[in-house]
Amino acid sequence: MRVYWSSEPAVKSVYDELHGYIPLNEVELKIVDTPTFQRLRRIKQLAQAWYVYPGAVHTRFSHSLGVMYLMGIIASKLAQEGIIPRDDVQLLKLAALLHDIGHTPFSHGVEHYFIRKFRLKHEELSRWVIEEDPYIADVLRNYGFEPREVAAIVAGLHKETVYNELLSSDLDVDRLDYLLRDALHTGVAYGLIDLDRIVQTVTVDSDGYIAVPKKAVQAVENFYIARLHMYRTVYYHKTITSYQLLIALIYEKISESTELRGLLEPFTSASGIRNSIRKGIFYIWDDFYIGGVLSYVLSKDIGDESFRELVRMYMTRKGFRAVYEWIGFSNVNPVPSAIRESINKAIEFVRDQGIPRYSTLPYVEVIPIVSDEETVRVLINGTSVKITEFAGSIVKHLPESMGIARIYVHPMYCDAVNKLITKFLSHNVRV
């Protein structure tokens, strides 16, 4: 039988730069003290963003504590309103605490490789860790929580819609924390939102979807706009993305080379990672681990010169440069097929001129801005209306998606490729 731990007094408080003192009760502290959770101290929240914003060195550890803190406030409020059982507040807090437990080192940088090679996302890794990591799973079971139920909330697959919505929706506790935290550490003002207003007014409608009263619409509008600006200025910044692509390329070359693979094993395949989780050694796979491998490669002259040059480029901030960029907004096709085809043909054209294959990298990404299914609801006289359909909101005028298309080039070939691509695209791009 599950103990109602959310009513337990705090046994420790951790000072957070964003939320102040965050109390931890016994079960939360047990999770935080595991080697697997301590690993998050050694994984930067924004990975390569510090190449552009030097202050962006905060970690998944502090973010996870912040998400748990916000979940506790909102879930307790919903319990007081009779919307969710009081006994499930702690369950939701634990899911929030563990929502990023499976993130790869360098966050989305290394994840690019695993998505492309194995279709393996960090959400699936988090599920494996929660259910199969001996440190995490044992703590949960010892305190009466079923790891699969916690993992279901993290994956957005719980039978209760509201539980999924609180952790994964347009307006969830994850985004409420990272927008403010990332804005604080990068120094940009675009991520500032009225957190207090949102937390005080947020609720759910009769279908379990996140909702706010009409009086809080402006705060939610600001949230959507802030997120859009953070996507453009931080999360998909052209330089930050270039280093994400570079570390993914380096990781790929190591993982797929018989000479180099041993440097990263067992963390070179989905099965290897899962086995490391079951053996209780997943916690060693962090930013420091990969950084140590890169330093070792250079100190011992491992691999061929072209590979070592990629490593030097990453470590000395002399990475790939964007010679072409296209950004568009649309509700249907954010990156038109003509743009995609032209980029692929331009890269083929450049390679035909003798430029090495790995010296040009295409990048095409579609980023959801407003999700029709997960969008926030507005409560008007007891009726729930999507904010995109609410006449009094500007959110309905925002695009559903933002599209980005870029061509990145090795700095050695930048000038030559820039001229070739500019000439090619000027004659071939028609949108």
Beta-strand relationship, 210-213 and 377-380: parallel
What's the number of CA atoms in the CB half-sphere (13 Å) around residue 378? 21
pLDDT of 371 > 90? The answer is no
Residue environment code for 398-423, b if the CB has 16+ CB neighbours within 10 A, otherwise e? bbbbbbbbbbbbbeebbeebbebbee
% the chain with pLDDT above 90: 85
Provide the token pair at 116: 């492309």
**Bridge partners for 365 per DSSP:** 404
Q: Using CA atoms, how far apart are residues 189 and 205, in angstroms rounded to an integer?
A: 32
**Bridge partners for 23 per DSSP:** 13
Q: What is the pLDDT at residue 421?
A: 86
- Rounded to the nearest 10 degrees, how much is the dihedral formed by the CA atoms of 171, 176, 179, 182? -150
How far, CA to CA in Å, does 287 sit from each of 180, 306, 369? 23, 23, 29
What SS3 class is residue 386?
strand
Cα angle for residues 128, 150, 374 (degrees, 5° grid): 100
Which residue type, as a one-letter code, is found at position 356?
P
The pLDDT of 198-219, averaged and rounded, is 95
Beta carbons of 297 and 263 less than 8 angstroms apart: yes
Q: Using CA atoms, how far apart are residues 380 and 54, in angstroms rounded to an integer?
A: 44
The pLDDT of 146-150, averaged and rounded, is 98
Beta carbons of 350 and 343 less than 8 angstroms apart: no
Q: Confidence band (pLDDT; 50, 70, 90) for 133?
A: very high
Q: Using CA atoms, how far apart are residues 241 and 249, in angstroms rounded to an integer?
A: 12
Structure confidence by residue, pLDDT tens digits, 271-302 = 999 999 999 999 999 999 999 999 999 999 99
Architecture per CATH, 1-187+237-318: Orthogonal Bundle (1.10)
Domain positions in the chain: 1-187+237-318
Q: What is the pLDDT at residue 4?
A: 41
Q: Using CA atoms, how far apart are residues 314 and 276, in angstroms rounded to an integer?
A: 27
Q: What is the 3-state secondary structure (H, E, C) of 138-187?
A: HHHHHCCCCHHHHHHHHHCCCCCHHHHHHHCCCCCHHHHHHHHHHHHHHC
Crossing angle of the two packed helices 173-186 and 217-230, in degrees rounded to 10: 60
pLDDT of 328 > 60? The answer is yes
pLDDT of 428 > 80? The answer is no
pTM: 0.94
Residues near 209 by beta carbon (within 8 Å), at least 6 away in sequence: 161, 162, 165, 169, 374, 376, 377, 384
Q: Using CA atoms, how far apart are residues 294 and 300, in angstroms rounded to an integer?
A: 10
Cα angle for residues 135, 148, 114 (degrees, 5° grid): 75
Closest to 193 in 3D by CA, of 204, 182, 205:
182
Structure confidence by residue, pLDDT tens digits, 13-32 = 999 999 999 999 999 999 99
Beta carbons of 247 and 327 less than 8 angstroms apart: no
Structure confidence by residue, pLDDT tens digits, 387-397 = 999 998 999 99
Beta carbons of 65 and 16 less than 8 angstroms apart: yes
Q: Confidence band (pLDDT; 50, 70, 90) for 307?
A: very high
